[in-house]
Each structure stands twice: as C-alpha cells, then as structure tokens.
Amino acid sequence: MLEKLVNGFESFLFRNRAWVVGIFIFLTLFLGYQASQLKMDAAFIKNIPLHHSYMQTYLKHQKDFGGANSIMVAVEDTSGNIFNANYFDTLKNVHDQLFFIPGVDRAQVKSVFSPSTRFTEVVEDGFAGGPVIPADFSTSVEGLETVRDNIEKAGIVGRLIANDYSAAMVSAQLMDFDPQTGKPLDTIAFAAQLEKELRGKFETDKVKIHIIGFAKMAGDVADGAKGVLLFFVIAILITAVMVYLFSKSLILTILPLVCSLTAVVWQLGLLTVIGFGLDPMSILVPFLVFAIGVSHGVQIINAVRHRVIDGQTTRAAAASAFRSLLVPGGVALLSDTVGFITLLSIDIGIIRELAISASLGVGVIIFTNLILLPLVISFTEIKVNKHAVPTTEEVRSDAIWRFLARFATPKYAVVVIIATVVLYFIGLQQANKMKIGDLQGGAPALHQDSRYNLDTFFITDHFSITTDVMTVIVEAAPEACTYHDVLTQIDEFEWLVRNAPGVESTVSLASVAKKVNAGFNEGNPRWEVLPRTTASLVQAIGQIPTTSGLLNSDCSVMPVYLFMKDHKAETIETVVAKVKTVAAKMDNDKLQFKLASGPVGVMAATNEAVAQAQLPMMLYVYGAVFVLCLISFKSFKATVAVIIPLYVVSTLAQALMTQLDIGLAVSTLPVIALGVGIGVDYGIYILSTMSPKLSEGMPVQQAYYEALVERGSAVIFTGLTLAIGVSTWFFSALKFQMDMGILLTFMFVVNMLGAIIILPALSAVFWRQPK
Amino acid sequence: MPFRILQCVAVFCLGSTFFPSTLSATSSDLLFSQIQPLAASSLILDIANVGNGLVAVGERGHVLVYDGSWQQVATPVSSQLTKVFFINQKLGWAVGHDATILHTQDGGQTWQLQMHSPEIEKPFLDVMFLSENNGIAVGAYGLFYRTSDGGAHWNDEFHEELLAEEDVSYLAELKDSDPSAYLSARTSLLPHFNRVLTLTDGRLLLVGELGLVAVSSDQGKTFARTSFAYDGSMFNAIETQDTVYVMGLRGHVFKADVSLNQWTEIALPVQSSINGVMSAADDTLYLVGNAGIVIKLNKDDSSSIVTRRQGENLVSIAKDKQGDIWLSGSQGLFILKP
C-alpha cells in the first residue's frame, strides 16, 4: 500500500522533474529574499516561563516595582578615587545619556545625580537634609567635599557609590515596549546603543565604564552569535571535504551541499514569513539543519552510487534511491521534527522558538534532500569505476563490516549488552547528580573572561549590590502598612529569610521603617523598632516614597528584596525553599508572601520550569519516536532495539553534563531532545534495511552485514559529519554554544556507535536463531 | 527518564514532609525570640560583663552569652531589648521595648519574664539594681518602675519634679478640670530617661532627653536637675575616679567634678551621637557612637578617632577577660582591632 503510494509519487515527480525543480528554484528565490530580511531578536520576555506562578506574580507587580530587566552602569575612576572634577562631569554625562536612551524608564534612572537621592541627618531640632548633589553643585574642591559628606550621610555607599569610592553607579529599569514606537523594545539595538553612547563616548584612560544587565548581556550574546557565521563556513568546508572523500565525485559532493543549504535558506525564509526573528539562542538551528540535510543527502548519494555501480543509469538510480529512502528518511526526519516539536511543551518563549524553527528546518529537509536531491541528480550523469575487482578501500571497509557484524552474534552480543548495562548504571548514577540551572557566576551564556562577566565581577567586588536579587512580594489589604502587626510579620519574615544561607542582605519597608523611626528619635539605635503607636508608624512610613520600590501607592503591596551571594542553582533552591517554608508558616488571609520577582526570581522560575519540563519532554520525544518506529517497522522488537541505545546514550549525555559542570538550563534542555531526535536516524536507517531481511528469515548477522554494506558507510559518515559540524562550536565566544556543541558532538558520535554496536547486539537477542 | 521521575518524586515528598517539622512555629511564636544563625550579627544594643563572660542583648528579644564564642539563648519575648544589668555573677535583668523586663538567675543562660506591657507603648531604656532586691527600670517619656523584691513586683513612679515648670502648672490645671486628660498627659510630658547610674557616693545620676541631667540622694525617690546648660539629649554617663562624664547627641560630651555643679564641654572631632562608653586604664574613655565611630578620650580632654566603621551605628562597648574589646551595634558583635 505504502509502497504503491511511493511508487506513484516517484513516477509523477520524475516525469515532471523539470517543473518540480523549477518550482523548487522559485520557492528558494522567494524564501531567500525573505531570509535576507531576517533580524536578530532577543526579548527579555521570551526568556521567562510566563505561566509559572512566580512569573504571574512578577508580571502582576511589574508596573509598580519595575521588573527584572534592569541595567547597571558602573563608572570607575581608574585612579581609585572618584572625587575629582573630570570624574563627576563624566558621571553626570553618563547619567544624562542613559536617561535619554529610548527604552529606559526615565522615572527609574538612579544615581547620585537623580533628585531622589537625598540625605537626611539628625540635628538638635529634628531632621536636616537635601539632595546629595546640591543645587549649587560645582566640581570645585569644596563642592566635592560637600558631596562626599552628603554621600556618607545618605547611606548610599555600597549601592550608588563603590565601597572603596573607586566608582559610582547609574542604574535604570528598561521598559518592555519602546514608548515612541509602541513596538517591543529591540534589546539588541538597545545594547548596541549602550555600547556606543556610553562606553564609546565616555570611556577614557581615566574613566572605565562597566555595563551589566539583561539587555547588555543579550547584546553581547548577539555579537558573539555573529561569529557563528565563521563556524558555519568552516563547517561547510569540512563537510565538503568529507563528502568528496566519501563520494569521490565532484557532482555528488556539490549537490547534497547545495540542497542542504537550500534547506537552511528555506528555514530562515520561513521564519521571516511567520514573523519570527532569529534569537541568539536559536542560532545553532541553521547548523543543525545543514548537518542533518547533509546526512540525509549522503544516504541518497550513497544509494545512487551503489545502484550506478550495479549498472543502472543515473536517472534510474536516482529514482530507485528516492523510492527506497523516502520512507526511512521521511520517518527519521519526522522523528526529528517531532523531537523538536515536543520542546513546545516548555513554557519558555525561546525554547518554543527553537522548537518551531528547528522543526521547520528539519521538515523542509524532506523536500530539499529526499525529493529535490534525487531529482537534481537525475539530470546528471554519474560516472563510477565499474571494475569487477573490488578496490582496496572496499576490501578494507568490507573487513570493517565483517568485524562489526560480529556484534550480531550471540557470543559478542552478550558481552556488548553486559557492557552497556554496566555503562548505563554508571551513567545513571552520574546523571542523577545533574544540576539544574546555571552553575557559574556571572552571565552563564558568556565565558567567564568575557567583558560582560568581568564587568559583573567588578561590580560585585566593589559594590554591596548585585543583580542577583530575588524579590518576595508581600500582598495585603490597602493601607496595610499602617498596621503594626502587618509590618512586624514582614520584618519577621525578612529576618528569617535573611538567615538562609546564600542571602547576603535584605531590605523591606519594615526594616527601612525601623531605621526611619530611629531617625525620628534622634538617630538613637535603641529606637530602631516598629512603633506600636499608629501615628508614629504612619509618620515613619510617610518618609518612604513609592519610588523606593518598597511599597505601592496604597501600600497593599510591599516587596522584600533578598540580595543573594550568587545565582547558582543550589543557592536559589536553598533560598526558595526557605522562603516557601517561612511563607507557609506566616501566610494568612491578611497577608501573603509570594515568590518572586527580580532577576533571581526569574531564574528560580526558569529553573523550576526547566526541571519540570525535562520529564514530560523526554516522555513525549520517546513516545513520538516509539510510535513512528512502530509504524514504519510494524515490529515491537525492532522499535525497542532502536530505542534502548538511544535511551542509554541520553543517560550518558546527562552524566557528561554532571562531569563537565554543565547545568540543565534553557540552553541545554533542548539538546537532549535534539540528540534523541537526530540520534534515532542511524537506528532507523540500519534497521529499515535489516527488518525486511529478518522477516524473510535471514540470520541476524547476515542481515546486519548486508545493512552495513548498503548503509553502514553512510551512517558512520553521517555521525562524523554531524559531529564535526557541531564540534566547531567548541571555539564559540558563547559559553552556552560551547556547552551545546560538546553535548551534541557527544550525542551524535555516541548515538552512531550505539546504532552500530548496541543495536545489532540487541537484534541478536531479539531475533535469536532457534538452535 | 523514569529514574528521574522517581528521584523527583522522592525529593518532593521529602520536601513536603520535612519542612513543616523544621519550622513548626506558628504565628503565636512571634512572642518568643527565635534562635537564628545570624543573631550575633543582628542589632545588638548592650553588652554586660558577667563573671568571666559577657552577655549581650538586642533586637527581636535576642540574648547572647559569650564564653569563648557567642551563643544565642532563648528568651520569652521578641521585643527589642535595650539594656542588660547584672548585680552579681548570677542575677541579672534585661529591659526593652513593650515595657519588657526579663530576669535571669543563672548568669544569662535562661530568662523569665517579669514584665511585658506592650499596651503602655513605651520602651525601657535602662535598668539598674542597687542590691539583689532593689532596682529601678527607666525609659521613654519618664517611664520609671521600681522593685523592692528582686523584680517579682514592679511599681511605677511619676517623677513630677523633673517636669518643666510650665508643664507642672498645666498638669495641675488639668488634674482638676479633666482627670482623664490629666492621666494621658502625664504619660507623655516627661523627657526620655536614657540612663540611670549609681555614683560611688551612693547618689543616682539620671540622664535623658532635652538636656536632662539629674541627681538623686534618696535612691531615686526624688531627683534634682543639675545646672546643665545644653538642651540636646544625653544617652550615657560614666564616673571615673574624680570626674563624671555625660554624653549624647551629635558628639556632645560634658564633664563635671563629683559636686556636679559645673559642667564643661569637651570638644570631639566628630558630630556623631555618642551611645556607649567604657573606661580603660588611666581613666581613658572609649566612646562609641553613630556613623561607626570609636573615640579615645584622654584624661586631659584630648581625643582621637580609633576607627570609623562606615554605614553602621555602634551602641555599646565592653572588655572581656582576655582583654579583647567588644563592640556592638547595627552589625552585631565584633572585636575592636587594635
């Protein structure tokens, strides 16, 4: 039935081959134009699991308290002392410049120059105070001395001024939408503007500019991603050489490469058509599409070559290759596609984008490499040496096939299976230790010695603040902050969480109100309490403006800020667990402590989403592969023989992650699904040849040998090509790309080994010869 | 990955059964201080020498005992404790906000509640015992309680003699015309009593808000203001061999001889309020205060800044038996590095 369909399709296509190729050329031109319009695109909102309960809290209060999308600019005086005229002029310029960059929430730009930065001091008859930078500020020696005094009185050392007075901070919150255009903020353009307008204009020998924050990181990641083009070219060249060595024919080298590149063009073009940009996180997809395309192309040219050697004409050989490979190739590619589509189940925008762009890419390979490639080949004349005597190389590879075929004998099969089981359990032990989230400090997407991470380390070393902030949102009734018991509970909560390992310091309305109350009592620390008298409490709270971020306008919402040691997954887990326990104990109908906002709150949600997504994702991807194998082989045994090696290899990949300190994160989560999706190809190609022979009753060893002769070289070649293509990422400027490269290389190579070693061993057991 | 499911499930189950037992406190436990790892670096407001060790008190009902290292001990309150006083190695009292008085009979290891009256809405700011049975606790707005049975009963006293003249006549009027207003006015007209100190000759010295420096020759039954001219608050006082010092707001320090008739101001190099004081060898004083200052004040009135700890307030200072000087304040307890 299926065969009839394929045959009918074949004769239709090959009869109208000129038309079909014409349509392909037209589509390629159209999509090529679309692809040229593709933009890099990185939005903060895509990186967060929007439906996670933490993120619901985050989004609900984002308007009042700003979000997690902040930018910090530390302006350093390289002499180590900021109190000089040149420095203050520069600092003011940086402040003003940042204020005017579109996308910055102007109300939230903070530095010593913002009018809301004030100092207060206690004098005999009450308070005295004013802005830290007085209205009559001058950069004279006296003027700077006044500012220095005010800075100390304002208590901003560590926050807006470095602890050692070597730098000052200008910070801002970003808006999700550009207020002028109403469009989502172009993060990458914004980052480029920061680089140009701040660092470009103001960095000198004397003044260094350190910039951190999501937008800057995304910009740096995008810059790093541009280097990917070079890797792409290198990968194409390596692949071309490999294909030539494999095919010994220029035409058979060029055609699969061209068809694979066509697939890439289609994929990029389709992204534009459906209105997507290319996220730096998805930049690997074109690589994958190209590599997968080549691997299927190689199967086609391998089949064509075999048939031409057998004496067929090129056209007949192409048609026959098309017929025999459309189904296994199609199933393999469908498994890949389904593997990627399972990623849609993860509630994180960029992973979904990756899922869509990768499944599009793999889907188009069915057209470009399984249909277009044989059609194009049919126009050519392939010449192969038709010596009856096998070449030395063929003899050598035949020896390899005979060696490998032994794995399909019961004796070797037992050894292989025992070794596999041992390896699996060792791997499992390691895999269970796999960590969730980012394991390093700084921005995990970038290398530790990147400018961005060096800037991060400068800021964390010189200031008492970091971007590693998690905010617990306290929700209560309107005017809640005028009640002593409400603030007491917030104060208690803050103190208990402050005691969690990993929390460096905390701040909330309650703790600030206590300090203000001491201020109202002559600055006497013995009055650092929440006054029981409502009038005194209101007086203290009244001093704290909503711009402080400690309360909203009717003080029904009061965040507690937790400044954390770092954002490693373990630290986050500890603190989140502590917050949950304390909150569970203290929550009541008047007052709820809700996770979470702030950059670390987002990370906590992401880590949880990733951890939760892992299992369903694996179930879906394996389920899909299982169903597709079952359909194509119509054999349960065959399906299991394909899936077991895959499963062992994914476990080993997780063990590798533990060994290499690679955490399960937004960037590495898809790798496992991709690895399984692509890894299944090898098994499908080999078993689809073996399966009919086995059902005819051929012994396993013989069936496997014949499968190897027909497709073995293509399978091994494919594994190596894919691996070499992704292994170039090892040199990427982006840490996450390096991690993905390592993992994918591992998965491609080891899955290939699994298909030619474990699969035959399992087959030997499953299709045991009756003695 | 089925094995990961098992693992996840196990962790989750462990998590949900584990957490409630580690923190089984309910909101009523807010009445008690909680033992927490960071108690020694929370706001600590007083340190007292007890036998060979030290006892420190601070926010959230924290009490810590030092014997080579600081250990937090349990107390039955979570109110801020402002002062601690020991009459001997065993018997001591700690006072604080919500009109709290705690008592220990074992050198600070265990504490019992003697008084806790949040409804008064006033803190005690100092406590002092003349003997094992007779003690005085003073605080905000003229809060003044006395015991003659070691704290089993505390009775309040109203020190009308320390009222300003215009307030005396105002109260007298009110007493006749509006008795309830009289009672409420009485609770807020007196200045804060910040420190009460026994002088070697047996007199009591009381210092407080609005330039209050008063002396009593009858164990505190009546006080008389001395001729003290500055009208800022005094937070602390100390007596050396022949001199009495009082100190307080914005770096103001005054001294007088034991007659307490003539106060002279000592100029300090800072304008930060002085909270704590300790006398060292040769009657040298160490003063600690806001903005993290530690000042050495010599007998000849010369002074020098020993250290200045940015961004924190220092409240108390004490020397342990090893000779280490301990400071306390908004960052908790730590040793003064020479």
pLDDT, residue B130, reads 95
Whether the per-residue pLDDT at B36 is higher than 60: the answer is yes
- Give me the mean pLDDT over the A200-223 stretch: 87
Residues B86, B182, single domain; the answer is no
Per-residue pLDDT reduced to its tens digit, B66-118: 988 999 999 999 999 999 999 999 999 999 999 999 999 999 999 999 999 99
Please judge whether A152 and B235 are an interchain contact, meaning their C-beta atoms are less than 8 angstroms apart.
Answer: no
Torsion of CA B213, B218, B220, B223, to 10 degrees: -40
Of residues A133 and A678, more confidence is placed in A133
In a domain, residue A397? The reply is yes
Torsion of CA B84, B87, B91, B97, to 10 degrees: -20
Contact A734/A220 with Cβ under 8 angstroms?
no
For A150, the token pair is 């005010």
Contact A247/A305 with Cβ under 8 angstroms?
yes
Residues A644, A766, single domain; the answer is yes
Cα(A684)–Cα(B191) distance, integer angstroms: 90
Residues B114, B88, single domain; the answer is yes
- The residue of chain B nearest to residue A425, with distances taken between CA atoms, is B3
Spatial neighbors of B166 by CB under 8 A, at least 6 apart, are: none
Whether the per-residue pLDDT at B49 is higher than 90: the answer is yes
Residues B77, B126, single domain; the answer is yes
Residues A420, A531, single domain; the answer is no
In a domain, residue A44? The reply is no
Number of domains in chain A: 4
pLDDT, residue A734, reads 83
Contact A574/A581 with Cβ under 8 angstroms?
no
Chain A residues within an 8 Å CB radius of B310: 152, 157, 163
- Give me the mean pLDDT over the A259-283 stretch: 88
Chain A residues within an 8 Å CB radius of B251: none
For A449, the token pair is 């010695």
With an 8 Å Cβ cutoff, is B310 touching chain A? yes
Residues A365, A270, single domain; the answer is yes
Q: How confident is the model at residue A1 (pLDDT cuts 50, 70, 90)?
A: low
Q: Is the peptide bond before A596 cis (omega within 30 degrees of 0)?
A: yes
The residue from A220, A254, A276 where one domain ends is: A220
In a domain, residue B118? The reply is yes
Per-residue pLDDT reduced to its tens digit, B120-164: 899 999 999 999 999 999 999 999 999 999 999 999 999 989 988
The residue from A220, A245, A262 where one domain ends is: A220
Residues B116, B177, single domain; the answer is no
- The residue of chain A nearest to residue B236, with distances taken between CA atoms, is A524
Whether the per-residue pLDDT at B264 is higher than 60: the answer is yes
With an 8 Å Cβ cutoff, is B20 touching chain A? yes
Tell me what the pLDDT averaged over chain A comes to.
Answer: 85
pLDDT, residue A391, reads 57
pLDDT, residue B29, reads 41
Q: How confident is the model at residue A344 (pLDDT cuts 50, 70, 90)?
A: confident
Contact A367/A700 with Cβ under 8 angstroms?
no
- Give me the mean pLDDT over the A722-747 stretch: 84
Q: How confident is the model at residue B271 (pLDDT cuts 50, 70, 90)?
A: confident
Tell me what the pLDDT averaged over chain B comes to.
Answer: 87
Question: What SS3 class is residue A346?
Answer: coil
pLDDT, residue A371, reads 92
Chain A residues within an 8 Å CB radius of B250: 122-124
Residues B141, B181, single domain; the answer is no
- CATH number for the domain spanning B90: value is 2.130.10.10
In a domain, residue A561? The reply is yes
Residues A209, A237, single domain; the answer is no
Q: How confident is the model at residue A739 (pLDDT cuts 50, 70, 90)?
A: confident
Range of the domain at A382: 1-37+227-389
Q: How confident is the model at residue A386 (pLDDT cuts 50, 70, 90)?
A: low
Q: Report pTM.
A: 0.81
Residues A233, A380, single domain; the answer is yes
Please judge whether B329 and A525 are an interchain contact, meaning their C-beta atoms are less than 8 angstroms apart.
Answer: yes
Number of domains in chain B: 2
In a domain, residue B110? The reply is yes
- Give me the mean pLDDT over the A659-674 stretch: 83
Residues B141, B182, single domain; the answer is no
Residues B114, B183, single domain; the answer is no
In a domain, residue A450? The reply is no
For CA atoms A100, A101, A107, A111, the dihedral sign is negative
- Give me the mean pLDDT over the A181-194 stretch: 84
Residues A307, A248, single domain; the answer is yes
Percentage of chain A lying above the pLDDT 70 cut: 95
Q: Whose CA is closest to A509, among A556, A572, A577?
A: A556
- Give me the mean pLDDT over the B194-209 stretch: 94
pLDDT, residue A770, reads 58
In a domain, residue A438? The reply is no
Residues B152, B179, single domain; the answer is no
Radius of gyration of chain B (CA): 23
The DSSP code for A60 is H
In a domain, residue B137? The reply is yes
Please judge whether B311 and A158 are an interchain contact, meaning their C-beta atoms are less than 8 angstroms apart.
Answer: yes
Residues A700, A574, single domain; the answer is no
CA distances from A394 to A305, A653, A689 (A): 13, 34, 20
Cα(A26)–Cα(A22) distance, integer angstroms: 6
The residue from B190, B207, B241 where one domain ends is: B190
CA distance, residue A137 to nearest chain B CA (Å) = 23
Cα(A710)–Cα(A558) distance, integer angstroms: 69
- CATH number for the domain spanning A130: value is 3.30.70.1430
Q: How confident is the model at residue B28 (pLDDT cuts 50, 70, 90)?
A: very low
Residues A385, A396, single domain; the answer is no
Cα(A257)–Cα(A377) distance, integer angstroms: 12
- Give me the mean pLDDT over the A184-197 stretch: 86
Whether the per-residue pLDDT at B22 is higher than 60: the answer is no
In a domain, residue A439? The reply is no
Q: How confident is the model at residue A310 (pLDDT cuts 50, 70, 90)?
A: confident
Range of the domain at B186: 159-190
Residues A242, A271, single domain; the answer is yes
Residues B153, B50, single domain; the answer is yes
DSSP lists the bridge partners of residue A210 as A74
Whether the per-residue pLDDT at A600 is higher than 50: the answer is yes
In a domain, residue B143? The reply is yes
Q: Whose CA is closest to B108, among B79, B66, B166?
A: B66
Percentage of chain B lying above the pLDDT 70 cut: 91
ipTM of the assembly?
0.89
With an 8 Å Cβ cutoff, is B118 touching chain A? yes
Per-residue pLDDT reduced to its tens digit, A502-520: 898 888 999 889 988 888 8
A215-219, A725-729, B277-281, range with the lowest pLDDT: A725-729
pLDDT, residue B13, reads 31
In a domain, residue B78? The reply is yes
Q: How confident is the model at residue B2 (pLDDT cuts 50, 70, 90)?
A: very low
The DSSP code for A500 is S
In a domain, residue B220? The reply is no
In a domain, residue A446? The reply is no
Cα(A755)–Cα(B233) distance, integer angstroms: 85
Contact A75/A170 with Cβ under 8 angstroms?
yes
pLDDT, residue A461, reads 85
Chain B residues within an 8 Å CB radius of A122: 249-250, 273
Residues A492, A580, single domain; the answer is yes
pLDDT, residue A267, reads 93
Contact B125/B197 with Cβ under 8 angstroms?
no
Per-residue pLDDT reduced to its tens digit, A611-622: 888 888 888 888
The residue from B134, B157, B180 where one domain ends is: B157
Residues A315, A424, single domain; the answer is no
Cα(A187)–Cα(A69) distance, integer angstroms: 10
Question: What SS3 class is residue A395?
Answer: helix
Residues A509, A599, single domain; the answer is yes
A525 → closest Cβ in B22, B123, B313: B313
Please judge whether B330 and A528 are an interchain contact, meaning their C-beta atoms are less than 8 angstroms apart.
Answer: yes
Whether the per-residue pLDDT at B6 is higher than 80: the answer is no
Please judge whether B250 and A432 are an interchain contact, meaning their C-beta atoms are less than 8 angstroms apart.
Answer: no
- The residue of chain A nearest to residue B16, with distances taken between CA atoms, is A581
Residues 60 through 79 of chain B touching chain A, CB cutoff 8 Å = 60, 78-79
Region of A634 please: left (phi>0), alpha (psi -120 to 50) or beta. Answer: left
pLDDT, residue A395, reads 64
For B81, the token pair is 């404790």
For CA atoms A417, A421, A426, A430, the dihedral sign is positive
In a domain, residue B287? The reply is no
For B212, the token pair is 């209050």
The residue from A604, A622, A650 where one domain ends is: A604
Of residues A769 and B34, more confidence is placed in B34
Burial A509-543 (b: 16+ CB within 10 A, else e): bbbbbbbbbbbbbbbbbbbbbbbbeeebbeebbeb
Spatial neighbors of A3 by CB under 8 A, at least 6 apart, are: none
- Give me the mean pLDDT over the A1-17 stretch: 85
Pairing of strands A591-597, B44-50: unpaired
Task: Give ∠ CA A435-A53-A609 in degrees, rounded to 5.
Answer: 25
pLDDT, residue A26, reads 94
- The residue of chain B nearest to residue A486, with distances taken between CA atoms, is B27
Residues B144, B172, single domain; the answer is no
Q: How confident is the model at residue A421 (pLDDT cuts 50, 70, 90)?
A: very high
Cα(B94)–Cα(B265) distance, integer angstroms: 32
Task: Give ∠ CA A277-A283-A284 in degrees, rounded to 5.
Answer: 145
In a domain, residue A643? The reply is yes
CA distance, residue A143 to nearest chain B CA (Å) = 20
Residues B133, B184, single domain; the answer is no
DSSP assignment string, B138-205: EEGGG-EEEESSTTSS-EE---GGGS-HHHHHHHHHHHHH-HHHHHHHHHHHSPPEEEEEE-TTS-EE
Whether the per-residue pLDDT at B12 is higher than 50: the answer is no
Residues B69, B113, single domain; the answer is yes
Burial A452-464 (b: 16+ CB within 10 A, else e): bbebbbbbbebbe
